[in-house]
Structure 1
Amino acid sequence: MKPRLLLTRLVPVAALIALSAAVAPLSEADGAPPPPPHWKRCAQGPGDTLGRKLDKAGARCAEVAVPLDHSKPGGRTIKLALSRIRAKDRAHRIGTLVLNNGGPGEPTLGMPLDVRAAMKDVARRYDLVGLDPRFVGRSTPLDCGWPIGMWLRSAGSTRARFDHQVAVQRDLAERCARRHADVLPYANTRDTARDIDFVRRVLGERRISFLGYSYGSYLGAVYAQMFPGRTDRVVLDSAGDPEAWGARALRGTEDEAERALRGWAAWAAERHGTYGLGATPARVLATVDGIVAAAEERPLRVGRYEVDDQAVPYLLSVGSGDDRPAGRAEFASTVRTLNEAAHRRKADPGPELDGFLAFVLTSEGSPLVSPAAAITCGDRAAPRDPDAYWDDVQRSRALHPLFGPLKNNIWPCAFWPNDPREAPTRVGNATPALIVSATGDAATTYEGSQAMHRALTGSRLLTLRGVTAHGIYGEYGNACVDAEVNAYLATGVLPATDPTCHAGTRWPGERGRS
């Protein structure tokens, strides 16, 4: 149930900048290439399940030393961990496909395994590279030692509850400063993009292809902006508005979150006999309201956890964002458990919910969400005055009483120890790219993907209609989307117009799909 971490919202792109897509010779642009990596087995011991899976798939892993500060190439270095499954069809090899799982802060080392399955026969023509970004996963880690895993919380129903959040977020930022003040200025998307280009050089490639999900789409767009002409085939799945990325990225996604919750409520009402949450959508939503009200009165006891009114809206937002039957069933079970707790009855979470609550409420999630916060706060400056957030919370609460206080709440970025070293990247160029988006995406919204499409004037937008989901290609199970992406990866030719797929159907304009 653990989601991709962060989200974006709509802010229109004001201007577009046309950039050349010409490829400079490797020797002219890069100078002498860094030494090649030393590839070895991926498993780091008998308990390394991921490493064993990679080894079984024929992958090899390596560590690359990159500058902490790319403006000082001879200075301090940090480690990047990468995996690679080499192309099986060497005679028809297209190149290297670099992957990013999003977040920010999501490990990517194991991603070639799933992507290889989604690509089918096309995978035989690519070297698939999973790169844990700086400070993430097996790369030089950044863990702030936080007592809670996820800082995304609702502001709560009162100013006193909001003030509690202010204190919590300030404490989180101070903990991170005490541990990592020396490297926090170098945790950001622009330096991550520089790392990707360093890896491109290490691999001896003039150009790389790129597949990124969610925040990974923003990273891919920033890379294309910073290194024009260095990309071949680019797929940006569940992309958000590049102008909106940062510490206030959730604002403006309230409508999508509410639609997703209503869609799930209709599904649950049809299965009242199974879940007992209400026989009509309105009654299911009334059950949800009752859970929120009970949590406002006092925290809900769910197994070994206490789930308060500042955590419940986050659980509701994440859980309702996937309309696949398994996702909806899992969320219905979560709501049923929360409803038992709301009525002060014994509420034991199953393994999935228990793991998710551990990720959100305990220190178990700290290694993952610490770099996510550091990168987010390092990309764009956030308002420092808590009253600015409270005012937004109050304005949004009037229209969106459940999700407004969540989407507009304060983050640790308000107290981050350093301002961003650089201005955010203004994405606007003609890089060819295929952007994939579902119309019901409640995280990086469809409008956000449309904004990315406008920013990348050489792109096409592949729309999946009638679907609530985040992360589509190879994940949602739509044959039309998977075939369209694979056709592009195989040929390098974008569709002539923006294609459309539908839930449970294939796009009628077949284009040689596998």
Structure 2
Amino acid sequence: MMNLRNSRFRRTVTIGVSILGAAVGSVFPAGAEVPEQSRNLRSFYEQKIRWSPCSFDREVECASVEVPLDYSHPDGERISVAISRQKATDSKARRGVLFYNPGGPGGSGLTDWYGKSAPKEQFKNTPLNASYDLIGFDPRGVGKSAPLRCAKLDLPDITSRPTGKDFDHFAAWAKEFEKSCDELDGQRRKYFNTRNTARDMNVIRAALGERRINYVGYSYGTYLGAVYGSLFASRLDRSVLDSSMHPDKTGYAYMTWKAEAARRFVEEWAGWAAERDKTFGLGASVSEVMATVEAVSSRLAGHPAGGWDRNTFDAFLGFDAEDVAKWQELGERVAGLKSAGSGERFRKVPPVPKAAAGREVVEDATYTILAEGEWPQDIETYREQVRKNRDRLPYGFGPMGSLPLPPAFRSFTPPEAPTDIERDGYPRGMVIQAKRDSQTPYEGGVAMAQRLGDVLVSVDDHKHTQYASSNNRCVDEPVTEYLMQGALPSKPVNCPAAETG
């Protein structure tokens, strides 16, 4: 992916790895609702919540809810899940609670990137809080909810096209990271998974005294919402899944799928550049432009130019190809690097972009939750994938789609079978998907909408997460109307990218 000596790329890789997903099953039949009146669970559902002002926002209330560590043995160890509530401002128009999850896995639902109240900050420019109590929560293993602990081991140095030595270093890091998690939290970790988080949500719902919840989830949070609906169909009302994961792609398969998306965007840009060969001189076909790209990348491996080396070139080629607005600049960059030192007219190469400040990911929970998906346990499987994809998928986060992450060395056996995502017994909702989002590729949103029968909102954009965050009226207005009034669009919605400037 990139040379991780640069802190910009350490942060970028960490963020990229975090926007993932996986799932496991249940002690109850897949798709079945946990019996709420079970004698062993009654005390959890009927517990009283004690609210007090949140330390991070005195206008918001915070509390904790007790849940079983292992739902198959509810009389055993208990853990606390931290929750927050901003009460609806219009008591006459109140229609219940709106649960929120920002994704990750491992993202806090209590506070946002800057330590502010997450649901309140996310929806501050919407009228949602007039009719809903906004409910945030730290999923189990995250933040204030029995946080998982792992050693803080820096990612090893790798390149955009990992060598055998890179592979060995990365595999050693992943193995050591997983070992440290196991040493600190051991076999408890296997209960920190999506299915149990969904069960925790249902305990929170019952303790709040609510018959049903409404839900907005982003990225991995879309999977969590779909799992909740599959388990507790009668308890879910309106739901919005923004930047959806694919209902059938989890674990390692999801990582490789994301890498393929980055390659596709680069090829789409190459087609655009080929149509402008007279401008850029990169080639008159996709194959010719891609050959030029490879020639430039190969030369930069030994002779950096204009502040670019092979690793930064490959990485930002993938990042910028997602954004159509950057295609012109990207064409000039590749042309400039192609002609660097030759005296041709693209001698001025655009500088290396500065990475945007990113959120610090709670890696401790991230890799544990990811481990619930399918990960080959034979290290040679990953080595072969790296050899196969080294020169084909070097763009953006592509290399991370082949390398073994800590779940490849999983120290526990997931206790449950994978979730069968389905909508059987709750109303149709909405799925929002950007067409050029490599974190959760567009096809995943299409598949999720088809699986659930939800209305699909397609956005001609690259931004990961859209509703109430991209200032796109075409997205925000129908989604808000649905959440407030229950009115679904009669057909799929197609939106342009949000206007900028």
In the superposition, the TM-score normalised over structure 1's length comes to 0.74
- Which residue number in structure 1 is paired with residue 219 of structure 2? 214
Trace 1:85-164 onto structure 2 (pairs within 5 A). 85-110=86-111, 111-118=118-125, 120-148=126-154, 156-164=161-169
Trace 1:47-62 onto structure 2 (pairs within 5 A). 51=56, 54-55=57-58, 58-62=59-63
What CA RMSD, in Å, does the superposition of the two structures yield over aligned residues? 4.3
- Aligned-residue offset at 1:114: 2.6
Equivalent AA in structure 2 for residue 7 of structure 1? L
Note if contact 1:97-1:210 (Cα within 8 Å) is conserved in structure 2: yes
| Of 432, 449, 454, the match for 1:453 | 449
| Of 28, 38, 48, the match for 1:36 | 48
After superposition, the Cα gap between the structure-2 partners of 1:221 and 1:61, relative to the gap in structure 1 and judged at 3 Å, is same
Give CA-to-partner distance per residue, 1:296-343, whole Å, 9 cap, x none: 66999x9xxxx995x9866765676566x7xx69x99xx99xx9xxx9
After superposition, the Cα gap between the structure-2 partners of 1:375 and 1:317, relative to the gap in structure 1 and judged at 3 Å, is farther
Equivalent AA in structure 2 for residue 462 of structure 1? V
After superposition, the Cα gap between the structure-2 partners of 1:144 and 1:155, relative to the gap in structure 1 and judged at 3 Å, is farther
Give CA-to-partner distance per residue, 1:357-392, whole Å, 9 cap, x none: xx8xxxxx5x71121100010x22310112211222
Distance of 2:262 and 2:50 partners within structure 1: 46
Task: Tell whether 2:247 aligns with 1:242.
Answer: yes
Note if contact 1:134-1:192 (Cα within 8 Å) is conserved in structure 2: yes
Distance of 1:450 and 1:354 partners within structure 2: 29
Distance of 2:49 and 2:299 partners within structure 1: 56
- Aligned-residue offset at 1:237: 0.3
- Aligned-residue offset at 1:8: 6.2
Trace 1:189-228 onto structure 2 (pairs within 5 A). 189-228=194-233
Query: SS state of the match for residue 179, structure 1?
Result: helix
Larger displacement relative to structure 2 (208-217 or 254-263):
254-263
User: Which runs of 5 or more structure 1 residues have no equivalent in the other structure?
Assistant: 10-16, 44-50, 269-278, 360-364, 506-514
- Aligned-residue offset at 1:164: 2.0
- Aligned-residue offset at 1:189: 0.7
- Which residue number in structure 2 is paired with residue 469 of structure 1? 463
| Of 370, 373, 387, the match for 2:364 | 370
Distance of 1:400 and 1:424 partners within structure 2: 28
Larger displacement relative to structure 2 (440-449 or 63-72):
63-72
Distance of 1:209 and 1:140 partners within structure 2: 25
Task: Tell whether 2:85 aligns with 1:84.
Answer: yes
Note if contact 2:160-2:310 (Cα within 8 Å) is conserved in structure 1: no
Distance of 2:440 and 2:300 partners within structure 1: 28
- Which residue number in structure 2 is paired with residue 419 of structure 1? 413
Task: Tell whether 2:393 aligns with 1:390.
Answer: no
Note if contact 2:19-2:105 (Cα within 8 Å) is conserved in structure 1: yes
Note if contact 2:319-2:395 (Cα within 8 Å) is conserved in structure 1: no
| Of 476, 482, 501, the match for 2:495 | 501
Distance of 2:48 and 2:89 partners within structure 1: 20
- Which residue number in structure 2 is paired with residue 64 of structure 1? 65
Count residues with an aligned counterpart.
447
- Which residue number in structure 1 is paired with residue 76 of structure 2? 75
- Aligned-residue offset at 1:31: 4.3
- Aligned-residue offset at 1:487: 0.8
Distance of 2:272 and 2:67 partners within structure 1: 49
Query: SS state of the match for residue 63, structure 1?
Result: strand
Note if contact 1:8-1:241 (Cα within 8 Å) is conserved in structure 2: no
- Aligned-residue offset at 1:258: 3.6
After superposition, the Cα gap between the structure-2 partners of 1:297 and 1:222, relative to the gap in structure 1 and judged at 3 Å, is farther
> Percent identity at matched positions?
32
- Which residue number in structure 1 is paired with residue 19 of structure 2? 6
Distance of 1:163 and 1:256 partners within structure 2: 26
Equivalent AA in structure 2 for residue 71 of structure 1? S
Distance of 1:214 and 1:496 partners within structure 2: 25
Note if contact 2:213-2:235 (Cα within 8 Å) is conserved in structure 1: yes
After superposition, the Cα gap between the structure-2 partners of 1:419 and 1:227, relative to the gap in structure 1 and judged at 3 Å, is same
Note if contact 1:25-1:206 (Cα within 8 Å) is conserved in structure 2: no
Equivalent AA in structure 2 for residue 448 of structure 1? G
